[in-house]
């Protein structure tokens, strides 16, 4: 009897310890490199473009457009920089009208991503708790989600749209020393690298997202605006280039130019001595010639 009670006591103690160990794991969820991050976008009315709210007057978000490449809504990958292709297979009439709002800048394409991983959906209570936003009021600030506004550029025509389908996505992670595996900020915007796509109702819409990650909320330093940049590596490169150029010049001068100059200088000195000796000889010959020429006059005077 005592043995059974002891076994039951230790079993209950182990279960309690196990539950206590699992509880902080649910509260301390953090992304790991390679984890998928679902993207949700604000649900809007097709007629007016206004946001839709639920019975509690909270903004309603729905999964982002489904990508034909994966068959799933758009997802980012934590810590991985890559180009993500997401082709919307068919532009329906309602979605075409929403694109008109986005391209004409009547309303923004407001999306969001979880700041930390959501609890597994099989744990109903934990999942509902992790997805319940306690922030008061309406807006993009949230304790659970990080806003990601997509600035979609294009032109609105009478019968069709031109959409800049290539977009840059910038995501800032919180510093590891403060909140590892946590997203701090995100944004996306169209770029005009490629010609815009002409789309009408029923066409596919090929989107490409170039995702870049930053390890903190600071932008890289050293950029001085359009026209150039100055970084430590640039300064070191210029210094090493100047040093190598000076070494090459010294080696060329000492190995080629200096010996050539010394050789020419010696040849010039030798040629100068020879020309000087020749001049003295000519002078001597002149004097001697003159003496020989005037010798007859002296003889007559005697």
Question: What mean pLDDT do residues 245-264 have?
Answer: 85
Tell which wins on pLDDT, 23 or 92. 92
Last residue of a domain, one of 199, 219, 239: 219
Nearest alpha carbon to residue 114 among 26, 183, 213? 183
149 and 63 in one domain?
yes
Residue 149 near residue 187, CB atoms below 8 Å? yes
Q: How confident is the model at residue 296 (pLDDT cuts 50, 70, 90)?
A: very low
Pair (141, 244) in one structural domain: no
Domain count, the chain: 2
Is residue 200 included in any domain, yes or no? Answer: yes
State residue 167's pLDDT score.
Answer: 95
Are 179 and 298 members of one domain? no
Q: Residue 111 and residue 150: Cα distance in Å, rounded?
A: 7
Residue 202 sits in the same domain as residue 242? no
Where do runs of H (alpha helix) occur along the chain? 2-27, 93-103, 124-131, 232-252, 258-301
Is residue 130 domain-resident? yes
The separation between CA 16 and the C-alpha centre of its own chain, rounded to angstroms, equals 48
Distances (CA, A) of 184 to 86, 113, 123, 213, 223: 24, 10, 26, 11, 22
Over residues 155-167, the pLDDT tens digits come to 988 889 999 999 9
**Is 39 in the same domain as 178?**
yes
3-state helix, strand, coil split of the chain in percent (to 5) is 40, 25, 35
Shared-domain flag, residues 195 and 77: yes
Three-state DSSP class for residue 251 = helix
* Domain identity same for 83 and 195: yes
To which H or E segment does residue 143 belong? none
Q: Which tops the pLDDT comparison, 18 or 28?
A: 28
Taking residue 176's Cβ as centre, other Cβ atoms within 10 Å add up to 12
Residue 139 lies in a domain: yes
Burial string for 30-61 (b: 16+ CB within 10 Å, else e) reads: ebeeeeebbbbbbebeeeeeeeeeeeeeebeb
pLDDT digits (tens, 9 = 90+) for 44-69: 998 888 989 888 888 899 999 999 99
Give yes or no: residues 94 and 213 share one domain: yes
Tell me, yes or no, if the pTM score tops 0.95.
no
Query: Does some domain include residue 17?
Result: no
Domain boundary among 188, 219, 250: 219
**pLDDT over threshold 90, residue 188:** yes
Residue 144: count other Cβ atoms within 10 Å of its Cβ: 16
- Show the domain range for 203: 28-219
**Residue 22 domain-assigned?**
no
pLDDT of 121 > 90? The answer is no
Single residue among 173, 192, 219 that ends a domain in this structure: 219
Please choose, from the candidates 165, 162, 149, 147, the residue with its C-alpha nearest in 3D space to the C-alpha of residue 108: 149
Task: Evaluate whether residue 274 is within a structural domain.
Answer: yes
267 and 206, same structural domain? no
Residues 263 and 245 reside in one and the same domain? yes
Task: Mark whether 183 and 237 lie in a shared domain.
Answer: no
| 5 is a domain residue | no
Q: What is the pLDDT, as a whole number, of residue 134?
A: 57
Does 7 reside within a domain? no
Residues 181 and 240 in one domain: no
The vertex-212 CA angle with 62 and 184, nearest 5°, equals 60
């Amino acid at each position: 009897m005592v043995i059974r009670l002891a076994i039951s006591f230790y079993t209950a103690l182990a279960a309690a310890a196990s539950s206590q160990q699992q509880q902080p794991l649910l509260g301390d969820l953090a992304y790991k490199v390679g984890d998928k991050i679902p993207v949700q976008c604000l649900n809007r009315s097709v007629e007016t473009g206004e946001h839709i709210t639920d019975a509690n007057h909270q903004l309603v978000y729905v999964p982002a457009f489904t990508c034909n490449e994966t068959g799933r809504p758009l997802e980012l990958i934590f810590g991985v920089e890559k180009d993500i292709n997401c082709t919307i297979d068919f532009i329906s009439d309602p979605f075409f009208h929403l694109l008109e709002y986005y391209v004409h800048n009547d309303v923004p394409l407001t999306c969001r991503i979880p700041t930390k991983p959501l609890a597994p959906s099989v744990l109903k209570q934990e999942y509902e708790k992790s997805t319940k936003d306690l922030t008061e009021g309406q807006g993009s600030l949230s304790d659970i989600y990080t806003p990601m506004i997509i600035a979609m550029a294009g032109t609105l025509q009478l019968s069709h749209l031109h959409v800049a389908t290539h977009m840059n996505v910038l995501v800032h992670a919180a510093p590891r020393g403060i909140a590892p595996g946590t997203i701090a900020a995100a944004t996306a915007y169209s770029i005009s690298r490629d010609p815009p796509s002409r789309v009408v109702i029923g066409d596919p819409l090929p989107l490409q997202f170039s995702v870049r990650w930053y390890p903190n909320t600071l932008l890289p330093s050293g950029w001085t605006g359009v026209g150039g940049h100055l970084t430590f590596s640039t300064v070191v490169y210029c210094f090493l280039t100047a040093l190598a150029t000076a070494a090459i010049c010294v080696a060329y001068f000492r190995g080629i130019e200096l010996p050539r100059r010394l050789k020419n200088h010696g040849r010039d000195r030798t040629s100068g001595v020879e020309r000087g000796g020749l001049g003295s000889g000519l002078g001597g010959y002149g004097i001697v010639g003159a003496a020989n020429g005037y010798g007859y006059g002296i003889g007559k005077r005697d």
